[in-house]
Amino acid sequence: MKSNIMPTYSRLDVSFKRGDGVWLWDQDNQQYLDALSGIAVCNLGHAHPAVCDAIAKQAGCLLHTSNLYTIDKQEQLATRLTSLSSMDSVFFCNSGAEANEAAIKLARRYGHQQGIELPKIVAMEQSFHGRTMATLSATGNAKIQNGFGPLLDGFVRTPFNDIEAVKALQNDESIVAVLVEPIQGEGGVNIPDPEYLTRLRELCDNNHWLLMLDEIQTGMGRTGKLFAFEHANIVPDVCTLAKALGNGVPIGACLAKGQAAEVLSAGMHGSTFGGNPLACAAALAVLDTFETLDLINQAAETGQTILQQLREALVNVDIITDIRGQGMMFGIQFKQDCPEFVSKALSMKTLINVTAGNTIRLLPPLIFEPAHADQLVSTITSLVNNR
């Protein structure tokens, strides 16, 4: 049957009708283990009772008034997020790309306040920050940029996890910020050296640059901390969130601290739907659940178990070059591209993803229990060994 949807995705031939926890059921009522979480969105799993209840109650009360008025749930969420992150203020929007767009605008405005006519932002090779024109320009992937030029100027590219490459830019007086993912997700689940973010923080402090962390995929407990920057014991100037913040309800946030929190004022940026009562109610329920169930520590422990089991099970597979992970975020890298693993895993009733062409990416819900972990490792081992 012909679809009237633009073919911007190569969709798999399956449609899910129902979800519960770590499980999904398709149109034929076949059950699947979800090891992708809607690409790091449903960290609490599907149809989580607290989120469902919050959405239902808010939908029956008030959906939208616009940001021309005070929104109580938005104020509550801003207070919670700034307290948890040690940041000062938040701009709410609807997606990760919008959150990063706000960060880019903030950095440019910050540069103009310093008298810099053409401010530049340092961004990383293999990065992914979104598909709007500004975030696409920041992204370090020529393949997805192809055909959309001219891109925006004002981005300087350096290799990820190469602190010396960033340090070499210190004499460029037009640089105003560094934009980086604590762990590159779309780029292949690339995990930097433990001191990388700490040294970036030092470089930014020494040069009066803003350190802007894209935590769209790593935030909300994914790495075993609420925010990935906590592993480095630092606080950024700007931090962007989305994906798991609403557990499936679209919401994004651009958090700022210190001088960065004072850059944008009335009329400089906006969002019609950003921070609406429904999205904020869902996000508050997510944060409440994290605090109530201690899921972040559970995710850290379960993630370490899965990583160890994967390494032990696949140690002798010669086409694998690396198995890496942090928290509930894993990458299994192969010597060559392996897109076929996605459909093969689907036939085994498991949802996975291949990113950067040659890396199986696993992003299980944080609610995974030992039995789910064992099933996932068993499936991946069978998938690889019977390739």
Active site residues: 128, 214, 243
Contact 41, 243 (CB under 8 A): yes
- φ, ψ dihedrals at 117, nearest 5°: -70, -40
Contact 283, 94 (CB under 8 A): no
Alpha carbon distance 197, 131 (integer Å): 25
User: Helices (DSSP H) in the chain: which residue ranges?
Assistant: 37-40, 49-59, 72-85, 96-113, 133-138, 142-145, 163-167, 196-207, 277-293, 295-313, 340-347, 370-385
Kindly state the tokens that stand for 253.
């946030």
Contact 76, 235 (CB under 8 A): no
Alpha carbon distance 187, 20 (integer Å): 30
Alpha carbon distance 183, 131 (integer Å): 19
Strand 359-362 relative to strand 330-334, pairing:
antiparallel
Alpha carbon distance 120, 115 (integer Å): 13
SS (H, E, C) 37-61: HHHHCCCCCECCHHHHHHHHHHHCC
Kindly state the tokens that stand for 59.
């939908």
Distance from CA of residue 246 to its chain's centroid? 12
- Look at residues 206, 127, 135, 200 and name the one whose alpha carbon lies nearest to residue 165: 200
Under DSSP, is residue 310 helix (H, G, I), strand (E, B) or coil? helix
Contacts of 278 (CB under 8 A, 6+ apart): 55, 58, 59, 63, 64, 249
Give the gyration radius of the chain's Cα atoms.
21
